[in-house]
């Protein structure tokens, strides 16, 4: 049974899926012959498992080989990082795509199976819960002996299996397009956020689980909400033209948001101006150099250690942002910096973002690119799948840029390295 569209007929390794773990210390990759786990930085192969069949989805909570003590039994799974969630895929899937296999990598065998009636599109797991996203429903399980289902939620068509699982909250699409359901795991209380007028395309919850970021299929705006009262805190503009949003991610300190799209551009936004958030403190290095923020043009540019900008970024359109009755695009908040990331030939859209949208009940017809992970508050990692499976690293910091006749220190993002993680 072929459960995933053929990505490339050529010989060679193909990444069917890629996903960071919760702390972005490593990432897992499903292939036509099994799965691999790589260290995130540096990008190095850590584990390779040959199953002689395809794995379409691999998910893990943390590094599966970080602990030294090996535990046994389902009751002790809460303290064990050797478990991964696997779903079959590719030309010759190891298991039907309706099954989620909880894989015990210490014993090299499956520890539990979650069966469903339709294809599994996404899996998320922590030390206490597992979430399985289907086309029109989300299933919540608790780790126990055996694992038991504690929640079943209906959703609108969720082609990409969108869901975010934290230690306290679970977020996924609502029953109507554009809505978000926010579930408190302890009480199972459900909040509804009318985030967008069109269907959702991306979701992310901050590490402290106080912020929720969303993007729709239009791809022009990213909205940020408070998880405490579901109030909208910010509206960030990527651009004016529609785009297919690949991924959005909030930095560990919740001060920055990153997003990628099929425009092959990585945008970063400042969140320090959100209501109720304290302004970022100056680092000692920046305080010492604050009197030298402007340098004569004759001096050579240099890169300072990354630091948060203590002044609000000026509006993109300058004084036009204050002129009344102009279209809102002049007053919207744009990214403070952007950079190009490589999508490869197989990821280049042919004039439309629709090829990334799967048909009903299937998976995307193009390899996914621009999968985001924050290694730290100033380092962003990007993953791409397919035959041209790439790892890319971006840094955020202050650099000298030209402004008129002067060189001014501004917060910037730039590419710092890349690698084809599956080899040539």
pLDDT of residue 74: 37
Q: How far is the C-alpha of 154 from the C-alpha of 319, rounded, in Å?
A: 47
**pLDDT tens digit sequence for 294-330:** 444 334 333 333 333 334 444 554 444 444 544 455 4
- Using the predicted structure, report yes or no on whether residue 150 has a pLDDT greater than 80: yes
Backbone angles phi, psi at 288, to 5 degrees: -70, -30
End-to-end, the C-alpha distance of the chain in Å comes to 29
The answer for residues whose C-beta is within 8 angstroms of residue 12's C-beta and 6 or more apart is 387, 424
Lowest mean pLDDT among 58-67, 148-157, 190-199: 58-67
Average pLDDT of the segment spanning 334-360: 69
Mean pLDDT of the chain: 81
> Structure pTM?
0.82
**pLDDT tens digit sequence for 240-283:** 899 999 999 999 999 999 999 999 999 999 999 877 665 554 34
pLDDT above 70 covers a percentage of the chain that reads 75
pLDDT of residue 360: 41
Q: What's the angle, vertex CA 275, arms to CA 269 and CA 278, rounded to 5?
A: 80
Q: How far is the C-alpha of 166 from the C-alpha of 170, rounded, in Å?
A: 6
**Residue spans per domain, the chain:** 1-154
- Using the predicted structure, report yes or no on whether residue 130 has a pLDDT greater than 70: yes
CB hemisphere CA count around 210 (13 angstroms): 12
Fold classification of 1-154 is Methylamine Dehydrogenase; Chain H (2.130.10)
- Using the predicted structure, report yes or no on whether residue 8 has a pLDDT greater than 90: no
Lowest mean pLDDT among 43-47, 152-156, 318-322, 372-376: 318-322
């Amino acid at each position: 049974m072929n459960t995933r569209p053929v990505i490339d007929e050529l010989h060679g390794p193909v990444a069917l899926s890629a996903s960071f773990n919760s702390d972005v210390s490593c990432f897992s990759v499903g292939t036509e012959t099994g799965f691999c786990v790589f260290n995130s930085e540096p990008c190095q192969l850590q584990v390779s498992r040959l199953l002689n069949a395809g794995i379409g989805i691999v998910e893990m909570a943390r590094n599966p080989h970080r602990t030294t003590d090996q535990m046994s039994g389902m009751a002790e799974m809460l303290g064990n990082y050797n478990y991964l969630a696997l779903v079959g895929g590719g030309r010759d899937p190891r298991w039907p795509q309706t099954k989620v296999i909880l894989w015990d990598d210490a014993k090299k065998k499956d520890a539990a199976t979650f069966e469903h009636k339709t294809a599994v599109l996404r899996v998320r797991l922590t030390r206490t819960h597992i979430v399985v996203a289907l086309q029109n429903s989300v299933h919540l399980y608790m780790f126990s002996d055996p694992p038991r289902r504690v929640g079943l939620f209906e959703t609108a068509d969720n082609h990409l299996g969108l869901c975010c699982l934290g230690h306290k909250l679970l977020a996924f699409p609502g029953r109507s397009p554009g809505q978000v359901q926010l579930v408190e795991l302890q009480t199972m209380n459900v909040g509804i956020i009318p985030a967008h007028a069109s269907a959702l395309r991306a979701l992310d919850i901050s590490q402290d689980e106080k912020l929720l970021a969303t993007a729709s299929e239009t791809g022009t705006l990213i909205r940020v909400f408070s998880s405490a009262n579901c109030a909208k805190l910010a509206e960030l503009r990527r651009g004016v033209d529609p785009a297919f949003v690949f991924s959005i991610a909030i930095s560990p300190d919740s001060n920055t948001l990153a997003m990628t799209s099929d425009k092959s551009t990585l945008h970063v936004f400042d969140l320090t101006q959100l209501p109720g958030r304290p302004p970022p403190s100056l680092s000692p290095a920046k305080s010492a150099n604050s009197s030298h923020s402007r340098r004569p043009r004759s001096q050579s540019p240099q890169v300072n250690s990354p630091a948060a900008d203590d002044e609000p970024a000026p509006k993109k359109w300058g004084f036009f942002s204050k002129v009344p009755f102009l279209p809102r695009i002049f007053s919207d908040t744009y990214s403070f910096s952007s950079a190009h990331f490589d999508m490869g030939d197989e990821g280049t859209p042919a004039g439309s973002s629709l090829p990334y949208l799967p048909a009903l009940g299937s998976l995307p017809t193009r390899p996914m690119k621009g999968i985001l992970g924050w290694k730290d508050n100033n380092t962003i990692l990007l993953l791409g799948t397919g035959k041209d499976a790439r790892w890319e690293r971006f840094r955020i910091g202050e650099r000298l840029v030209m402004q008129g006749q002067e060189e001014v220190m501004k917060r910037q993002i730039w590419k710092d390295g890349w690698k084809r993680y599956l080899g040539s």
